[in-house]
Structure 1
Amino acid sequence: MTGSTDGGAAPAVRSPRGERRGGILEVARLAGVSASTVSRVVNGRTGVDPVLAERVRDAAAELGYRASPLARSLVLGRTQTVAVVVPDLANPSFQGMLHGITRAAAHDGYRVLVADSAEDVDDEASIARETRMRCDAVILCAPRTPTETLAELTPTLEPVVLVNRTLPGSGVPSVAIDYADGIERLAAHLAGLGHRRIAYLAGTRASASDAVRRDGLARFALAHPEISLVTIEAGVGLADGEQAADEVLAADVSAVLAFNDLVAVGLLRALTERGVDVPRDISITGFDDIPFAAYTTPALTTAEVPVEALGALAWQRMAAVLGGTPPGVDEVLVPELRLRGSTGPAPAE
């Protein structure tokens, strides 16, 4: 067995394709500098003479040297990873937001760690804190945490960005959807079809976006006293819509505004199984325009939420904060109505 000829320095290795790759010591020898200088250059540290830094970069390129991501994170104190906490990963809307965030983050060299709080309000704060310990920052998507608790939580997570939630006066950047505007326009659409008794299948009380929808419907009711609005407590998933079917029928309404598309699809299925014709007997609207909303039978009338764009905007705010620049003003996107076959004229008296 032959011994090393370089005084114990790590030997050059070859990649799976056979290219010669040097270690940090070999780069240092080729550049004529110390290993610590190589480390400072490849990890972006300042304070290295530009001429030496250029020699290091040339040597690293010649040898095909790349710093270990783990070592780089230890040196810089950064993981190049951002956590995204969502209430329900099974919801296609949150999947769309994640797609927007991850694509934008990847463009800037960041990866995303996803945590699902499973609609558990009590566990959401601890999940956010635990993920922050493993990442450089946190994006909270539609957090269910009460406002007072959220205001106490966000300073412990900084940098942090909120999606579909705001904390006025806190300085926490946010992007959101104007759910009030969307639900009001859906209600106006139903009123225009002659519906005078309409049910709202509400989401969970912990959902801030549900509170915004209720505010929008309250404004609509004031402006349209001829319309009777009935609120039915439901939830956020398919099963919640199914379970609300009997209460919807007992309410003697001709149309339903569901909290989201999942609730609407669950209700549509349950009513169809009971022999109710949609939209001849009852019209149904959803909210979000998830991918399969256009493929139900009948296709679902809904309000389209640009979730991928929302995710990209959230990342823009986060990238600004991480880069030490102002994140810009909070932004609110307006949903667009998608009128399809699940809504029709009110049935004759």
Structure 2
Amino acid sequence: MADQTRVPASRRVTINTVAKAAGVSIATVSRVMSGSSSVTPDLAARVHKVADELSYRPSSAARGLVLGSLRNMGVILPDLANAYFFDVVKQMHHGATADGYRMLVADYSGDAADELATALDLLGQVDGLVLLSSRIPTSGLKELARQSTPVLLVNRVELGVDLPMVAVDNFTPMMELCGHLAKLGHRRIVYVKGSDLAWQNRERWRAIEMAKVLGIEATAVPSDGTIEGGYDVVEEALTHEPTALVCFNDLTALGVISKLRERGLRVPEDISVTGFDDIDMARHLAPRLTTVVSPKIDLGDQAWSLMRAALNNETTTSPPLISADVVIRESTGPVPS
């Protein structure tokens, strides 16, 4: 057997190499490597022995074709630099790994058409696709819903779209955040927006607009949910003479506070600032950031639970919105006299 399995180092060991060395067909090696019970134990042991001696590692793509599953899970998200997305994906990864899947993560330019093109391209390479904070228009989501590969929406709720979805409640905690500011005497605020294509941004702005019942007048200024975007928009925001800046997320708030310091404005003595998501840096700023604690672990767990059900063709109902809590820290204070 030793002579049969000696292969020159320059040659790549393939399934054909193993089949010839073991004296069996390629189909038999394929069945053995996929764990098929149709091969006798003695023959399976012989094939495994030869494969081990040759240091053969079967192609996951080829094995996927035999099993009807690639064991790959795709995830598309807007910004790989945002720690919030990383935490959610990491939690989904725990579930995927336990179920024998590897995750392929991709971001895109921020353009909805680019996201849709990326999604359609990935569908042929994965068993399921997760769209995290997707910006694809509903027409594109309906196109994805017609595909045979399961697609899951995370952090977006769209009525009339036949896709499983799970999201964090953005409206209620933003209303609570506005209530906190109103109690401190704030009446004129500026909302530093995220992308207009983001469902979370629309929900947060909807809550801020509703806060007029609390006596709050709000103006929105465009930004993009990044540190630099928050930094760049402060000059425009201050022209509205706000007493508080409500930021789309914590990254935006980091940039806002940095620029306010350059302007010689103290937070919160001169102006209050809030964020959303409670990324790790939010707790280590000076002052520490008042924000909303987004339940990233629960979101990741529920997302994978829904995807597992879709992969198994199980009928599920999407869970209600996951609640999120406001955490009050030192970046908000009373309106300056």
Normalised to the residue count of structure 2, the TM-score between the two structures is: 0.86
Change (3 A) 1:28 1:307: farther
Partner of 1:68: 58
Change (3 A) 1:285 1:12: same
User: Is the aligned partner of 1:346 residue 2:335?
Assistant: yes
Q: Give RMSD over aligned pairs.
A: 2.8
User: Deviations along 1:118-162, whole A, 9 cap, x unmatched?
Assistant: 312221111111122222221111111122222223323621111
Q: CA deviation at 1:328?
A: 4.0
Partner of 2:300: 311
Between Structure 1 and Structure 2, how many residues are aligned? 325
Q: CA deviation at 1:232?
A: 1.9
Change (3 A) 1:296 1:63: same
User: Deviations along 1:72-128, whole A, 9 cap, x unmatched?
Assistant: 123223221111001111111111111112222111111011111131222111111
Change (3 A) 1:23 1:342: same
Match of 2:75 among 84, 93, 99: 84
Q: CA deviation at 1:60?
A: 6.9
Partner of 2:267: 278
For residue 333 of structure 1, what is the amino acid of its counterpart? I
SS at structure 1 position matched to 2:292 = strand
User: Is the aligned partner of 1:93 residue 2:87?
Assistant: no
Which region of structure 1 is more displaced relative to structure 2, 296-305 or 126-135? 126-135
Which region of structure 1 is more displaced relative to structure 2, 209-218 or 89-98? 209-218
For residue 90 of structure 2, what is the amino acid of its counterpart? H
Q: What 5-or-longer segments of structure 2 have no aligned partner?
A: 9-16
Which region of structure 1 is more displaced relative to structure 2, 68-77 or 101-110? 68-77
Asked whether the 8 Å contact 2:153–2:163 carries over to 1, the reply is: yes
Change (3 A) 1:156 1:338: same
Change (3 A) 1:23 1:209: same
Listed as ranges, the matches of 1:189-204 within 5 Å are 189-204=180-195
Q: State the alpha-carbon separation in 1 of the partners of residues 105 and 75 from structure 2.
A: 5
Q: Percent identity?
A: 34
Change (3 A) 1:25 1:192: farther
For residue 84 of structure 1, what is the amino acid of its counterpart? V
Change (3 A) 1:44 1:96: same
For residue 239 of structure 1, what is the amino acid of its counterpart? E
Partner of 1:19: none
Q: State the alpha-carbon separation in 2 of the partners of residues 267 and 207 from structure 1.
A: 20
Q: CA deviation at 1:294?
A: 0.8
Asked whether the 8 Å contact 1:87–1:120 carries over to 2, the reply is: no
Q: State the alpha-carbon separation in 1 of the partners of residues 64 and 302 from structure 2.
A: 26
SS at structure 2 position matched to 1:198 = strand
Q: What 5-or-longer segments of structure 1 have no aligned partner?
A: 14-21
Partner of 2:229: 240
Listed as ranges, the matches of 1:1-349 within 5 Å are 10=5, 36=27, 39-40=30-31, 42-45=33-36, 48=38, 68-70=58-60, 71-156=62-147, 158-221=149-212, 223-224=213-214, 226-348=215-337
Q: State the alpha-carbon separation in 2 of the partners of residues 138 and 319 from structure 1.
A: 11
Asked whether the 8 Å contact 1:28–1:35 carries over to 2, the reply is: no
Asked whether the 8 Å contact 1:98–1:308 carries over to 2, the reply is: no
Change (3 A) 1:67 1:326: farther
Q: State the alpha-carbon separation in 2 of the partners of residues 157 and 116 from structure 1.
A: 22
Asked whether the 8 Å contact 1:117–1:127 carries over to 2, the reply is: yes
Q: CA deviation at 1:62?
A: 7.4
Asked whether the 8 Å contact 2:79–2:107 carries over to 1, the reply is: yes
Partner of 2:12: none
Asked whether the 8 Å contact 2:33–2:58 carries over to 1, the reply is: no
Q: State the alpha-carbon separation in 2 of the partners of residues 121 and 329 from structure 1.
A: 24
Asked whether the 8 Å contact 1:179–1:212 carries over to 2, the reply is: yes
